[in-house]
Amino acid sequence: MKVLNTIKELRSALDYSRAKGKTIGLVPTMGALHMGHSSLVELSVKQNDITVVSIFVNPTQFNDKNDLMNYPRNLEADCKLLDSLAVDIVFAPDVDEMYPEPDTRLFNFAPLDTVMEGPFRPGHFNGVAQIVSKLFYAVEPHKAYFGEKDFQQLAIIREMVKQLSLDVEIVGCPIIREMDGLALSSRNMLLTAEERQRSLLISKTLFNSLEYAKEHTLNEVKEYVENIIGNTDGFRLEYFQIVDGYTLQPLQDWDESDYIVGCIALFCGKIRLIDNIKYKEVK
Ligand code: PAF
């Protein structure tokens, strides 16, 4: 496994493989890797000749300086894991490499980015689009892999690919959960033992809401989740929205779409967590 730090080195390594007709899969990450990332990497390794994993904590997508500062970083352990997964190239640039000058591009993903995370994390998706598009230009992957835990991010990246006419297939991968249900996230390691215990209520409530949805209206299910999470000490609910899985717009009735997802964001202590659950999906 090669660990490369510059776009120039990355391009020359990939040009050689591309010339030989090899397919390239990209898994963009911010490091602090967990089993959720491993599942993306394993799929890429299975589906492509060459797998590139990028590790870059992208400053332009953080709207909170403390969150950026405290974001877990562990390049050595990450590389060990990726080597064991048969990754070909780890691309780990520094900030100057990715932003030799400020990226002034402004994307317009409305209405996908005006809901849910949008109002709570101004500029976040613009920063995600800046870095992911730069990674796509540098790697030119055939396929790129993203987790469905960041449900809104996945929809926005698909939209960005359309807007920029990029020739890359976006592969969405299911949420991977701890044995007790908590959705895997690099931020979980920042939870105290007590917060970690409390955080179980998030997935438990979402799963219970699936059952509740069988006999209740969409707005009743919304209230059910909002009441449990909103009234738990130590949680601060930002939103729970039940949305159309394609447009991300809030729904009023179960009949309004054939793809319906409930998305939640909350603070557990000082740590912001997100999760989602599918109420309806076209298979
Ligand atoms: O989902 C993430 O880890 C990040 O938003 C991504 C896609 C790697 C861009 O920095």
The pLDDT confidence band at residue 283, using thresholds 50, 70 and 90, is confident
Give residues with Cβ within 8 angstroms of 10, minimum separation 6: 4, 52, 89, 91, 138, 139
- For ligand 1, atom 5, the nearest C-alpha belongs to 128
To the nearest whole percent, how much of the chain has pLDDT over 70?
100
Are 235 and 272 contacting, i.e. CB atoms less than 8 angstroms apart? no
Q: Six-digit token pair at 20?
A: 């030989």
pTM score over 0.85 = yes
Reported as a single tens digit per residue, the pLDDT across 191-232 is: 999 999 999 999 999 999 999 999 999 999 999 999 999 999
Q: Is the dihedral of CA 279, 125, 156, 153 positive or negative?
A: negative
List the end-to-end C-alpha distance of the chain, in Å, as a whole number: 36
For residue 29, the CA-to-ligand 1 centroid distance in Å is 5
Angle between helices 218-230 and 200-213 (to 10 degrees): 160
For the chain, domains (ranges, CATH) are: 2-173 (3.40.50.620), 186-275 (3.30.1300.10)
For residue 198, the CA-to-ligand 1 centroid distance in Å is 26
pLDDT (0 to 100) of residue 148: 98
> Of residues 37, 124, 142, 216, which has the active-site annotation?
37
For residue 96, the CA-to-ligand 1 centroid distance in Å is 18
